[in-house]
Structure 1
């Protein structure tokens, strides 16, 4: 197999910051996300006009692929208004409490959304789901050694109040991902990452 071209950058994401010549809020109402418009300058090209980029500010999320001893996945069927569909999903939640690590959020969300907790946790991957517009960073975990504990006083509202939870064999979910019946990005990434790493 040929080695990477030495003239190419390293095969890893790298921090960078292009100059921003102006910025303004487009929408900010205190709920989870905000929109702003930045005027961005290409480095080393002061003769060029800055270009406009819309940024969705987002606190990030934690996502849980929970597997029981029979290799069944704990899934949710939940309505998502933006896409007009009930999606097959896995437990997930926002890093919006302050001071919590992604794993702590994953543990909390698993309990709140499903009433189950896990004693074994493995970080699968961290992703930028839509970096062309969103600053969201998603942390995906595999959870095992599950036990039912109830929702610990959490009362679901809105879409969550109508969500249905259930157990699906991993192989069936994997097949549904591959043939396009399940299209939620965190589910796809978690399932494929777990399989690729030999964890499911």
Structure 2
């Protein structure tokens, strides 16, 4: 039973992995199968071994957040998202990846960056962690990035942060990374949010 006087916090737990093997290798991700000693027995789990990602809540001087829309085949929708991308460059810092993605997906650079929130997207089925950053002081990048495939017809929209948060809570914007980033940014930038954040 959890002590109600202590704030909940995720904790590391490392049961013995009896065996681990990649059972499928795709173009981007692989699927692993682990046999794990758990309690008095053994469990078998398959999951996507994910490199992680970085995303950006890019805010302009008018308090608007940049949203991008692109086609996502697994859900058969063009959903609204934050600029984001994989941590697929060896040794790259997540904030550097966020800078790269903002330039590649929106042709923008930012003069000020700060960590906003990190979140596991679907811990029951993959190991992806997304590091979301708040970027301000925006200006055009030196050159436009050549986009292909789903990124070739990306749409951009500048939306007041409060309206984006309303869209999340109303169910109009259902991308999980967007939801986490927008709600965290609204909390961070509100007068009570800055004072009320705890460790």
User: What TM-score do the two structures reach when normalised by structure 1?
Assistant: 0.88
Tell me how far apart the structure 1 counterparts of residues 55 and 111 of structure 2 sit (CA, whole Å): 16
Q: How many pairs does the alignment contain? A: 190
Trace 1:6-25 onto structure 2 (pairs within 5 A): 11-25=8-22
Q: Tell me by how many angstroms 1:153 deviates.
A: 5.7
Q: Tell me by how many angstroms 1:148 deviates.
A: 0.9
**Equivalence for 2:164:** 173
Residues 75-122 of structure 1, C-alpha deviations (whole Å, 9 max, x = no match): 111110000101011100110011211100000100010001101111
Whose helix proportion is higher, 1 or 2?
2
Tell me how far apart the structure 2 counterparts of residues 13 and 19 of structure 1 sit (CA, whole Å): 19
Q: Secondary structure at the match of 1:154?
A: coil
Note the residue ranges of structure 2 that are not aligned, 5 or more in a row.
192-199
Q: Say if 2:161 and 2:186, in contact at 8 Å, map to a contact too.
A: no
Q: Say if 1:32 and 1:59, in contact at 8 Å, map to a contact too.
A: no
**Equivalence for 2:194:** none
Q: 1:193 aligns with which of 178, 181, 184?
A: 184
Trace 1:1-80 onto structure 2 (pairs within 5 A): 4-5=3-4, 11-29=8-26, 31-43=27-39, 45=40, 48=41, 50-80=42-72
Q: 1:88 aligns with which of 76, 80, 97?
A: 80
Distance 1:74 1:5, change over 3 A: closer
Q: Tell me by how many angstroms 1:64 deviates.
A: 0.3
Q: Say if 1:62 and 1:102, in contact at 8 Å, map to a contact too.
A: yes
TM-align CA RMSD: 2.0
Note the residue ranges of structure 1 that are not aligned, 5 or more in a row.
none
Trace 1:115-194 onto structure 2 (pairs within 5 A): 115-150=107-142, 152=143, 154-194=145-185
Q: 2:104 aligns with which of 112, 122, 130?
A: 112
